[in-house]
Structure 1
Amino acid sequence: MTYATQMKDIPVGVAHFSAIQLPPAQFVKDAATAGFNSVGLRLHPAFVGAPYYELPQGSKAASEFRTLLDSEDMKVFDIEFFVIGPDFSAASVEHIVAAAADIGARRLSTCGDDENRDRLIGNFIEFCQLAARYDMAVDLENMGWRAVKTYNECASLVEVCGQDNAGALIDAIHFFRNGGSVDDINVDIVQHVQLCDAMGSAPKRPEDMINEARAGRLAPGDGKLALKELLSKLADKAAISVEVPLVGDVAPLAHLRNLNLKARKILQSGN
């Protein structure tokens, strides 16, 4: 049995942000070698100037990418990242949703950044309805510097929207750093959990929250977040992936191997 086969016994995915410098094809190859089962991809920028990649629907690049996925026995689970702000228009990103569906993605990741709750709800519903036409789901993620800051706010919005394909994404750093309690989790709406870890006290200023999220995460188990408690609640109910951006001079493959091993150690310790 090969290293990769042994490491794929428990399904675990990895977010593109963990090695965003790798284009999709190389990311899939390295993620497969590291032992992951699936990947998330950045096909839309998370913020102005953020890196992302394009795989247009029906393109040669998309066709070649699907062939690569098959050859590596890998899947695309989710596509990032859509910020639902005051000027958000679902119609303007339909080509990305179509591209995501074309490569077999299952879910789209979003955050809410509009203080006008009624408008936010309306835009989120519209996005969910667009995704449903492509047989995809939409997950809303809380972030401390956005309008939807906490898990409870996120869950409330998902429930109010009433869309069958809407869910809440729990990213460990955003969940715990913004007051999330495992006891409050509604397992019926959480379909995806992203693992990472952190040390020290939670940052309070938005700029410090952003810096920690983008450059201060640790591999699962290397910090103090209550990941075992989180997984005991959700491991059998939600897809599990890892999101820890590569910082420093570590080779991407070595970084991904470490994330895979650390994530699986946490998962196996709960069995």
Structure 2
Amino acid sequence: METKFSLAHLTVLGCAPPEMIYLAKMCGYDYVSLRPIYMGLPGEPNYDLAHKKEMLLQTKKALKTTGIGVHDIELARIVDDIDVKQYLPAIEAGAELGAKSLLSSVWTDNKALYTEKFHELCELTKPYGMNVDLEFVTWSGVKNLKQAKELLNSTPATNKGLMVDTLHFNRSRVALEELDGLPAEWFHFVHLCDGPSEIPTTNEGLIFTGRDERYYVGEGGINIDEIINRIPKEVVFSIELPHIKRVAELGYAEHARRCLETAKDYLKKMNY
């Protein structure tokens, strides 16, 4: 099976979906991972395709012209007092574009709440033929693999999944052995990137690396090969690699090209 790659929106966040799709085609990606759920974070562009009809039309045109696919959409955050039905327009738009997965993460410590809401999100998404893939993030409510596993085991939903981000895996100090024995059907894609060997001790430091300065694969100190080799089946690699300074220096297209080139070189060396 040929390894497939997706360009994650955070890598080129300044590019609207149509532009991102053409860029992905030019660089040699197979898919894009779009961000049509607007979260209102500082400096974040609004790509709410469900309500930006012209942008949605241009996105469809770009997909048809290039042959690029949409692998997943993000980010369905579970927070206090969330009504997950608010994500339905984005889910419908994602399904219309052919998305296979909806990425979710938890931003509350209320275990009963996030357990209930994650199950509800899976049920909401299921009629659209999409998985809901849970990402554990070091500074979130579900911050490690143990908590993620507990949450996934708590729901009988058949479209649940686990999305491992190599940076967050490292930053959460997850033991490699924790991947052993996990159900293969949980795995659909991985966020691929590298980072410094030293793990920040503050949330500010963790967030800075995560959002502003990730490294090309093989450039940093994360044991990416050992993580990947324990994933129980071949997956799509979505390259989530924001680096503000490099984008300013190189431009989005060259940065995205280097992201893919270095990832392919790394995987080739490890005979993946």
Report if the CA contact (8 A) 1:57-1:98 is conserved. no
What's the offset of the Cα at 1:23? 0.6
Name the residue aligned to 1:237: 234
Shift of 1:247: 1.2
Q: Distance in 2 between matches of 1:77 and 1:94?
A: 18
Change (3 A) 1:18 1:58: closer
Q: Deviations over 1:114-166 (max 9, x none)?
A: 21111110011111111102111111111111111102211221111221111
- In structure 2, C-alpha distance between the alignment counterparts of 1:48 and 1:60, rounded to whole Å: 23
- Verify the 8 A CA contact 1:199 1:223 in the aligned structure 2: yes
- 2:22 is aligned to 29
Say whether residues 1:210 and 2:204 are aligned partners. no
Separation in 1 of the partners of 2:117 and 2:212? 30
Shift of 1:231: 2.0
Please name the residue that 2:194 is paired with.
197
Alignment match, 1:254: 254
| Distance in 2 between residues matched to 1:32 and 1:131, nearest whole Å | 28
Is 2:136–2:143's contact at 8 Å kept on the other side of the alignment? yes
Structure 2, unmatched stretches of 5+, are none
SS of corresponding position for 2:242: coil
Check whether the contact 2:215–2:243 (CA below 8 A) recurs between aligned residues: no
Q: Give 1:81 deviation, angstroms.
A: 0.9
Q: Does residue 33 of structure 2 align to residue 40 of structure 1?
A: yes
Could you tell me which amino acid in structure 2 is paired with residue 111 of structure 1? S
Residue aligning to 1:19: 12
Contact 1:57 1:102 in 2 (8 A): no
Once the two structures are superposed, what CA deviation does each residue of 1:36-59 show, in whole Å capped at 9, x if it has no partner?
Answer: 110101111345343330222894
Alpha-carbon displacement from aligned partner over 1:182-232 (angstroms, at most 9, x marks no partner): 321125222211111011311121121111101121011110111111222
- What is the number of residues matched between the two proteins? 263
> Would you say the 8 A contact 2:103–2:134 is kept in 1?
yes
Q: Identify the residue that residue 64 of structure 2 maps to in structure 1.
A: 70
* Contact persistence 1:246–1:252 (CA under 8 A): no
CA positional deviation for 1:64: 3.6
Question: Deviation of residue 270 (structure 1)?
Answer: 2.2
% same residue = 24
Contact between 1:46 and 1:80, CA under 8 Å: does it hold in 2?
Answer: no
CA RMSD of superposed structures (Å): 1.8
Q: Is the CA contact (8 Å cut-off) linking 2:73 and 2:94 kept in structure 1?
A: yes
How far residue 62 of structure 1 moved from its aligned partner, in angstroms, is: 2.6
- The answer to which of 30-39 and 152-161 deviates more is 152-161
Distance 1:187 1:164 in 2: 12
Distance 2:40 2:56 in 1: 24
Of 121, 126, 131, the residue aligned with 1:137 is 131
Q: Distance in 2 between matches of 1:223 and 1:40?
A: 24
